[in-house]
Amino acid sequence: MLNADFYNFTQQVQGALYSALFAGQNKLREPLPPLPPMFQIRAGYAESPGWFMVQALEFDPEPLTVANLRVRDIYASERIVAALLELLAGEQWLRRQGEAYHLTDAGRDTLNQVRSRILKLLEVMETPLPAKQLNRLESLLSRVIDSSLGAGDPPGNWCLAHSRNRAPDNDAPPLLKLNQYFSDLNAFRDDAHMAAWKACDVGGYAWEAFTLICDGQAGTADDVYDKLPFRGYSVAEYEKALQTMLERGWLDHPSVQAGQYRITEAGQAIRNNVETLTDEYFYKPWSSLSPNDLEETQQLLNLLHDRSQSMAN
């Protein structure tokens, strides 16, 4: 049960919950005000104004910098991160002071508008599960998050601790707290995965390129670039990364065709070890739940997912 598929399922539950939430818009007396156009740029990607504004909230009152953003968004180039910060400063949502970007009152107002949309939808949303089940699931996941916050190093809890900075109040609706827990799990998964692959002594963009080759989603540096244009790296930079993997014996050339790469047995062993370590780091805090608790958590997540999907359709 406690494997990559289960983690992925927790994120699918969050997606289904969002779909169910926004499916209730027709119950509102007045339509939701539109999001600022800036939030539509690269929506759903880490390299986007919307995600950077979420990070600003997680860091507030500390400022954003290229360096601290790239602790988690480690797959992005410094230049794309800097460009997005300047874009947000141009909207006056952030104010640049030297190398630091501070959240402004206008930026907080914008984030409050986004939050108010969610609260309005929650007011008219049909509860996907009985209150007793929602409260029980919230209690179970709360124990996991608390245990994860106490995780040692590796993996550490840098991403998770920042994610918790935007946690709702204790008296918030269970659905709001559950939604945050799903985001927290995503953050801690980042902590676990980065701790696992960083031990291989490679950069973030190089590991991502290697992963695409491993998964058969790319065979050349051009293929990698086509998959990841939003990261801000060039074909030449990806080619250099793949050459490094070639020199280490993690990749080889399947034919005389220039630029083609494939995974080797040694490379596959490295990849498998990283995925195993990721699961070990991520799921260690779940030992705070008994086997019966784990089974109940999975059952409640299944119910929440299925009911939310039904409400969204």
User: Which has the closest alpha carbon to 17: 125, 148, 172, 138?
Assistant: 125
pLDDT digits (tens, 9 = 90+) for 48-75: 999 999 999 999 999 999 999 999 999 9
Work out the average pLDDT over 214-227: 96
SS3 annotation, 144-209: HHHHHHCCCCCCCCHHHHHHHCCCCCCCCCHHHHHHHHHHHHHHHHHHHHHHHHHCCCCCHHHHHH
Work out the average pLDDT over 4-31: 95
- Stated pTM of the model: 0.95
User: Which has the closest alpha carbon to 136: 311, 295, 309?
Assistant: 295
Work out the average pLDDT over 146-154: 95
Quote helix, strand, coil % in the chain, to nearest 5: 65, 5, 30
In the predicted model, is pLDDT for residue 37 greater than 70?
Answer: yes
Enumerate long-range contacts of 37-45, CB under 8 Å, 24 or more apart.
Answer: 38/87, 38/88, 38/91, 39/114, 42/230, 45/230
Sign of the dihedral defined by the CA atoms of residues 294, 161, 184, 154, in that order: negative
pLDDT digits (tens, 9 = 90+) for 79-93: 999 999 999 999 999
Work out the average pLDDT over 254-265: 82
Bridge partners of 219?
none
